[in-house]
Structure 1
């Protein structure tokens, strides 16, 4: 894969408060440039949700109401998040979820496209028994030594997803081949369906 042909792209991960629809409690965005993870320009934010974090969500990511009570509200950080995301492509694992939640919190945001490492993994490794982020980390074994934190925190999960993306991208010759299998239908960046053959 010629990574220099890639458009601007950030791998994102969000964590929520456990309600439906969720309030955000954490966002991370990690640029990938020339096939390398650019941690020097990454962004990570904690935010106090409007509604309390549910006990289940707190057990998953460890972000309790007490931990978040002095963090800024979403409106205080929304412009920073929007500025970093810009109009770049984004990538996430099970990207429909992250895209939907970010779009609800940033109505004016319009990414160029959305890559999904879950969809990409199913195309790249069709015989794996599971495609959760944990299962892919175990099977592909990306180098996570340079990341901090823990699983189910946004910074860690974005870093792991980015490493998986770069690893899987090497199975494809071009950017167009990659997006043909990695962009969920109906999301920004999805290739236009080919014209149907006609009689004349």
Structure 2
């Protein structure tokens, strides 16, 4: 659990500042579950430059509560939370100063979104909150007021959590809140999990991730883990201490995140999933007569394929369908072995490429249309899919045929501005598995929105 904080102060000498406004959003990693926003009477003068910056003046604070009147609420809402702020050192110091004046030793773990942003979103022109969120296309209102800045920090932190594929942030959180004893039937864990599409992380008592999985229904999948009787399920049941999750909305995003994070984190019980599950691929070659032939073969990462499959039967079924759809020759597609004409020609469904009756130019035009549709070699495009919320979409970026990463957007501006999109996305490795996942998903989901760009 996180307490995302922003504080406005009077300004003045170091450690003599007073709080004029405070906003705290309690954030569970997915949504805000509680909040506290209040003006505070600092009982001291406000520096003129601060009045100009924030618009908060002494007259506004005359009837506001003094710090000791809101101190209890601050302690309660931040209890068992990691304090998150943009320049956390400043906000934590100010809170500590105010509490020391009351004779109370206020201690919390902290996370700084400035430092996290420098690590996870490098090469930004500025890491000030206003300029950073603007460059990322994150909407912000009431700039330099505690509530507006804290809410912008919530949105920024949500983006940083998604970019943290090594899961360092969440593992530190789990270590802080580890529980020594679990309900015997795992009901406590299941109660915290939603029935949504996403990626889930099973942690041991030390907070380490021991298993990463993907599901269209996280709660249902974890229930299967907890009631399973095979050896892996029993080992997970014995070692599990906590389960965290990341909602993705899109099954494609969940598949890509699972693939990336298993390779990065190498969890103890994910050994089988480190191997490729795409065993066969569709390849093309030009024969001695100039016709493009198609061939199903064992997947080979050294050769460029059109698309990939989990088994030979799946590949053959796909090829049979596209031969009919594009009116291709069964012989040149490798589906009908013969030295003469194919069966489709005999029933007048093939134009005769198998016996050179149709010209290579005419035939290859249809084959290239098939290849163009199912391969993204040298393509620049964004695949748009479901997001985590109704008003959000996921975006998977392909540049020059290379998978660059994925992210979530709320505005068309973020999709159409390639520089903003590149800042928002979580960079991911363009490995063979990622390419297989994307091709397989696009092939099966014909209603996906795909935006091509130069």
Which bracket does the TM-score occupy, shorter chain normalised? 0.7 to 0.9
Aligned residues: 166
Matched, 1:138 2:131: no
Query: Which residue does the alignment assign to 1:35?
Result: 30
Match of 2:71 among 72, 78, 90: 78
Partners of 1:121 and 1:101 lie apart in 2 by 22
Residues 177, 16 of structure 1: CA spacing in aligned structure 2 closer, same or farther, 3 A cutoff?
closer
Residues 91, 34 of structure 1: CA spacing in aligned structure 2 closer, same or farther, 3 A cutoff?
closer
Residue 54 of structure 1 deviates from its aligned partner by 1.3
- 2:2 touches 2:26 (CA, 8 Å); kept in 1? yes
Residue 91 of structure 1 deviates from its aligned partner by 0.4
Query: Which residue does the alignment assign to 1:65?
Result: 58
Partners of 1:102 and 1:76 lie apart in 2 by 14
Residue 159 of structure 1 deviates from its aligned partner by 0.4
Partners of 1:95 and 1:24 lie apart in 2 by 15
Q: RCO (CA 8 Å, sep 6+): is it higher in 1 or 2?
A: 1
Match of 1:116 among 112, 131, 143: 112
- 2:41 touches 2:63 (CA, 8 Å); kept in 1? yes
- 1:48 touches 1:68 (CA, 8 Å); kept in 2? yes
Within 5 Å, which residues of 2 pair with 1:93-132?
Answer: 93-106=86-99, 107-111=104-108, 113-132=109-128
SS class of match (2:22): strand
SS class of match (1:170): helix
Query: Which residue does the alignment assign to 1:165?
Result: 157
Residue 177 of structure 1 deviates from its aligned partner by 5.3
- 1:28 touches 1:44 (CA, 8 Å); kept in 2? yes
Partners of 2:8 and 2:169 lie apart in 1 by 30
Answer with 169-178 or 73-82: which moved more: 169-178
Query: Which residue does the alignment assign to 2:211?
Result: none
Residue 179 of structure 1 deviates from its aligned partner by 7.6
Match of 1:23 among 6, 9, 18: 18
Partners of 2:35 and 2:61 lie apart in 1 by 21
Greater radius of gyration (CA)? 2
Residues 95, 179 of structure 1: CA spacing in aligned structure 2 closer, same or farther, 3 A cutoff?
farther
Q: Unaligned 5+ residue runs, structure 2?
A: 173-454
Instruction: Give the TM-score normalised by structure 1.
Output: 0.77
Structure 1 moving runs of 4+ over 6 Å: none
Residue 155 of structure 1 deviates from its aligned partner by 0.6
Query: Which residue does the alignment assign to 1:193?
Result: none
SS class of match (2:6): strand
Query: Which residue does the alignment assign to 1:183?
Result: none
Partners of 1:74 and 1:153 lie apart in 2 by 18
Residues 179, 15 of structure 1: CA spacing in aligned structure 2 closer, same or farther, 3 A cutoff?
farther
Query: Which residue does the alignment assign to 2:146?
Result: 154
Query: Which residue does the alignment assign to 1:53?
Result: 46
Instruction: Give the TM-score normalised by structure 2.
Output: 0.35
- 1:86 touches 1:109 (CA, 8 Å); kept in 2? no
